[in-house]
Amino acid sequence: QVQLKESGGGLVQPGGSLRLSCAASGFTFSTFAMSWYRQAPGKERELVATISRYTTNYADSVEGRFTISRNNAKNTVYLQMLSLKPEDTAVYYCNATRLCAVYWGQGTQVTVSS
């Protein structure tokens, strides 16, 4: 049974930081590209960052502030978020993709507010 379980969300002040984690099980984690998406109220879900075996990619809006990483031994992907802004407020989702296989987590809420 495939599971993606996000954690680490919460309420943080502007300029603060958070580290999201996504623990995966039920598939061969190391062979999948892992991504973080987010969806703000009233907006479409958008890609934040992706990490494959050799490369990382970021949305322009988070480049230089967010870092995606993975630990294949722990079947976990992370998103380190620095210098958070109110516009980063959203539900953050973990995604695993390989060819036609696409898996999603349930999401974790990140709220950036003073």
Looking at residue 86, what DSSP letter applies?
Answer: G
Give me the average pLDDT of each 10-residue run along the chain (114 residues). Answer: 97 98 97 98 96 94 98 98 98 97 98 97
Say if residues 88 and 80 touch (Cβ distance below 8 Å): no
Nearest to 51 by CA among 71, 26, 25: 71
Per-residue model confidence (pLDDT) at position 80: 98
